[in-house]
Amino acid sequence: MWVIGGTVVLGLIAYNLSQSPEWRGFQWTRFWLSIRDARRGYLLASVVAVYATYVVRAYRWKFFLDPIKQASPWVMFVGQILGFSSIYLIGRPGELVRPAYIAKKEGVSFTSMMAVWLLERIFDSTFLILLFSLALSSLRVGHRTMRGEAVLVQMQTGGRILLALTLLLVVALVAYRLDAETLRAWLLRRLRFLPPKALRALDHFLCSFAEGLGVIRCWRSFFASIASTAILWVLNATVFWLVFRSLGPGLDHLPWLAGALVLFCAALGLVVQIPGIGGGYQVAAILALTELFNVSVELATGAAILTWVVISAPCLVLGLILLVHEGLTFKKLNAIAAEEQAAGQEEAER
pLDDT tens-digit map of 169-225: 777 777 776 777 788 788 888 888 888 877 777 777 777 677 667 666 777 888 888
What pLDDT was estimated at residue 19?
54
Q: What is the DSSP letter of 290?
A: I
Residues 6 or more apart from 297 whose CB is under 8 A from it? Answer: 22, 23, 25, 26, 286, 290
Cα Rg for the chain, rounded, in angstroms?
22
DSSP sequence for 122-147: HHHHHHHHHHHHHHHHH------SHH
> What band does 8 get if pLDDT is binned at 50, 70 and 90?
low
156/160 Cα distance (integer angstroms): 6
Least confident of 28-32, 35-39, 102-106, 260-264: 28-32
What pLDDT was estimated at residue 10?
53
Q: In terms of Cα–Cα distance, which of 276, 301, 273 is closest to 288? A: 301
User: Which amino acid, one-letter code, is at 130?
Assistant: L
Q: What is the pLDDT of residues 265-311, one digit of tens each?
A: 888 777 654 433 444 677 788 888 888 888 888 888 888 888 888 89
| pLDDT, averaged across the chain | 78
Does the pLDDT value for residue 316 go beyond 60?
A: yes
What pLDDT was estimated at residue 36?
74
Does the pLDDT value for residue 44 go beyond 50?
A: yes
> What band does 142 get if pLDDT is binned at 50, 70 and 90?
low
49/43 Cα distance (integer angstroms): 10
184/203 Cα distance (integer angstroms): 7
Does the pLDDT value for residue 15 go beyond 70?
A: no
335/316 Cα distance (integer angstroms): 19
Residues 6 or more apart from 272 whose CB is under 8 A from it? Answer: 154, 158, 279
Q: In terms of Cα–Cα distance, which of 39, 61, 49 is closest to 314? A: 49
- Percent of the chain's residues with pLDDT above 70: 74
Q: What is the pLDDT of residues 227-253, one digit of tens each?
A: 999 999 999 999 999 999 998 888 888
DSSP three-state, residue 278: strand
What pLDDT was estimated at residue 218?
76
Does the pLDDT value for residue 135 go beyond 70?
A: yes
Q: What is the pLDDT of residues 53-81, one digit of tens each?
A: 999 999 999 998 888 888 899 999 999 99
Q: What is the pLDDT of residues 81-97, one digit of tens each?
A: 999 988 887 776 778 88
Q: What is the DSSP letter of 291?
A: I
